[in-house]
């Protein structure tokens, strides 16, 4: 058993992968030009793993990106293969599952005789551990490729359209021309070569999205330290943050990222992580903030467009609605408009009528979605005088 702190284990594994050329960074595209990295996801909640956990699970050598706990598998009526070994992750726990009690203080049971559970918000977040299994170790779970392909097919826009949308919605200043891509912190603009200078549209957009990652560090946005000249430790640390966020955003859009433009920093990253393994945790946390910030531009536009469309005054089958730190999926709707919904965090299924308080709350959450603040090929050239951050 490895007694080292988890962040040290992850840093050591990433260093080894970087040296061998097998890190998540170094496989930006597949043979069919889709993203070579798929962000690990929990199939019972639909939520992606975040920050350092996402990197850690991606480095386990599994083709299936789905990870879940033993209890989550059991609640979904799946089983873990005998002898399967779990992987340790750390996460910040903000909610806790507690049994639903009746007026007499007794635990309520569902139609299958199991104790009903609901999510309760904790007074203070708690850093805790979880052991998770990969989808390859789960019996009864649907094939991940079919699930992933269906999710991609349901996207309204193509990967290129989604990338273009984020760039436009950001209102970042792009200056096309020259042979290099970089972000200038002093003048707050992104320089990028003309589109036709890239081998593919995916490489162009991956490059711009990487520079947008640096752009988020401006004091008017996420306010990260962007000083330090090319070759300095501060410069390499910022590049590590932008590279991890490129990995995550590229996965979310299925557009990939262009590691070839940033490979020059690998030796610097290895030195930094050997000296301070905790830096990977810090970089992953910042990268997740960058990712959330950029993807918010797409979510806001979707919400604006949804708000402009006629909305049914009843719940509709197939809807997934965020409400009170969980998500509810409408599994079925009966003739009298009674809906069967499932809490995707707990797996609990509930029937709610149109006069039920939860029914009304879900309608309200759907109609008025709230923005979520998650305060949770050319070699690199010599940097310009204002320490602009290059691709």
For residues 233 and 274, membership in a common domain is answered with yes
CB 192 within 8 A of CB 208: yes
**pLDDT value at residue 4:** 87
pLDDT at 311 (0 to 100): 63
Dist CA 144 CA 357 (whole Å): 36
The lowest-confidence range among 2-6, 11-15, 190-194 is: 2-6
- Whether 349 maps to a domain, the answer reads yes
226 with 185: CB under 8 angstroms?
yes
Residue 169: which pLDDT band, with cuts at 50, 70 and 90?
very high
Examine the domain organization and report whether 17 and 52 are in the same domain: yes
Pair 134, 188 in one domain: no
Q: Supply the pLDDT for residue 146.
A: 83
Please identify, among 133, 152, 171, the residue that sits at the C-terminal boundary of a domain: 152
> Global pTM?
0.72
Task: With cut-offs at 50, 70 and 90, classify the pLDDT of residue 390.
Answer: low
Look at the chain and report how many structural domains it folds into.
3
Asked whether residue 111 falls in the same domain as residue 173, the answer is: no
Whether 30 is covered by a domain: the verdict is: yes
Say if residue 257 is in the same domain as residue 349: no
- Same structural domain, 331 and 299: no
Q: What percent of the chain has pLDDT over 70?
A: 87
Does one domain contain both 123 and 195?
A: no
Query: Exposed e or buried b for every residue in 209-242, given b needs 16+ CB within 10 A?
Result: bbbbbbbbbeeeebebebebebeeeebbbbbbbb
Q: What is the 3-state secondary structure (H, E, C) of 37-68?
A: CCCCECCCCCCECCHHHHHHHHCCCCCCCEEE
146 and 15 within one domain: yes
Kindly state whether residues 300 and 221 are assigned to the same domain: yes
Considering only CA atoms, give the Rg of the chain. Answer: 23
Is 375 inside any structural domain?
no
**Domain membership of residue 344 as a residue range:** 313-367
What's the chain look like in SS3? CCCCCHHHHHHHHHHHHHHHCCCHHHCCECCCCCECCCCCECCCCCCECCHHHHHHHHCCCCCCCEEECHHHHHHCCCEECCCCCCEEEEEEEEEEEEECECCCCCECECCCCCECEEEEEEEEEEEEEEEEEEHHHEECCCCHHHHHHHHHHCCCCCHHHHHHHHHHHHCCCEEECCCCCEEECCCCEEEECCHHHCCCHHHHHHHHHHHHHHHCCCCCCCCCCCCCCCCCHHHHHHHHHHHHHHHHHHHHHCCCCCHHHCHHHHHHHHHHHHHCCHHHHHHHHHHHHHHHHHHHHHHHHHHHHHHCCCCCCCCCCCCEEEECCEEEEEEEECCCCCEEEEECCCCCEEEECCCCHHHHHHHHHHHCCCCCCCCCCCCCCCCCCCCCEEC
Lowest-pLDDT choice from 120-129, 150-159, 208-217: 150-159
Question: Are 70 and 138 in a shared domain?
Answer: yes
161 and 228 both lie in a single domain: yes
**In-domain check, residue 378:** no
In a domain, 201, yes or no: yes
Pairing of strands 138-139, 349-352: unpaired
Q: Which residues contact 367 (CB under 8 A, 6 or more apart)?
A: 311
Show which of 305, 322, 351 is a domain's final residue.
305
Q: Is residue 321 part of a domain?
A: yes
Beta strand 326-333 pairing with 320-323: antiparallel
CB contact at 8 A, 206 and 243: no
pLDDT tens digits, 263-283: 788 999 999 999 999 999 999
Indicate whether 384 belongs to any domain: no
Q: Which residue, 126, 152, 178, sits at the end of a domain?
A: 152
Residue 381 lies in a domain: no
Both 92 and 170 in one domain: the answer is no
Neighbours of 40 (CB within 10 A): 26
Q: How far apart are CA 238 and CA 172, in angstroms?
A: 19
């Amino acid at each position: 058993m490895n007694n080292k702190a988890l962040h040290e284990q992850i840093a050591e594994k990433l260093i080894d992968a970087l040296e061998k050329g097998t890190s998540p960074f170094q496989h930006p595209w597949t043979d069919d030009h889709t993203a070579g990295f798929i962000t690990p996801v929990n199939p019972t909640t639909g939520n992606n793993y975040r920050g350092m956990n996402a990197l850690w699970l991606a480095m386990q050598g599994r083709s299936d990106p789905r990870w879940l706990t033993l209890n989550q598998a059991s609640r979904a009526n799946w089983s873990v293969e005998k002898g399967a070994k779990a992987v340790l992750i750390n996460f910040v726990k903000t909610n806790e599952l507690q049994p639903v009690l009746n007026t007499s203080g007794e635990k309520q049971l569902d139609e299958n005789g199991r104790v009903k559970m609901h999510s309760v918000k904790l007074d203070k977040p708690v850093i805790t551990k979880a052991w998770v299994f990969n989808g390859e170790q789960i019996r009864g779970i649907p094939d991940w490729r079919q699930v992933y392909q269906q999710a991609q097919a349901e996207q309204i826009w193509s990967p290129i359209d989604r990338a273009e949308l984020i760039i436009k919605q950001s209102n970042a200043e792009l200056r096309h021309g020259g042979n290099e891509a970089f972000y200038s912190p002093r003048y707050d603009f992104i320089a990028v070569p003309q589109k036709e200078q890239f081998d593919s549209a995916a490489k162009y957009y991956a490059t711009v999205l990487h520079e947008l990652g640096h752009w988020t560090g401006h004091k008017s946005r996420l306010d990260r330290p962007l000083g330090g000249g090319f070759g300095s430790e501060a410069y390499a640390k910022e590049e590590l943050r932008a590279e991890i966020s490129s990995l995550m955003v590229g996965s979310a859009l299925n557009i990939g990222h262009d590691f070839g433009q940033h490979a020059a920093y690998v030796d610097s990253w290895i030195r930094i992580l050997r000296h301070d393994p905790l830096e990977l945790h810090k970089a992953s946390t910042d990268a997740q903030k960058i990712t959330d910030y950029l993807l918010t531009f797409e979510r806001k536009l979707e919400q604006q467009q949804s708000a402009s469309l006629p909305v049914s005054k009843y719940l509709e089958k197939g809807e997934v609605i965020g409400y009170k730190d969980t998500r509810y999926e409408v599994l079925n709707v009966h003739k009298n408009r009674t809906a069967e919904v499932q809490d995707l965090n707990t797996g609990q299924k509930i029937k709610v009528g149109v006069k039920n308080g939860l029914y009304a709350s879900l309608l309200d959450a759907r109609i008025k979605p709230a923005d979520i603040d998650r305060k949770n090929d050319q070699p690199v050239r010599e940097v310009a005088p204002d320490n602009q951050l290059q691709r």
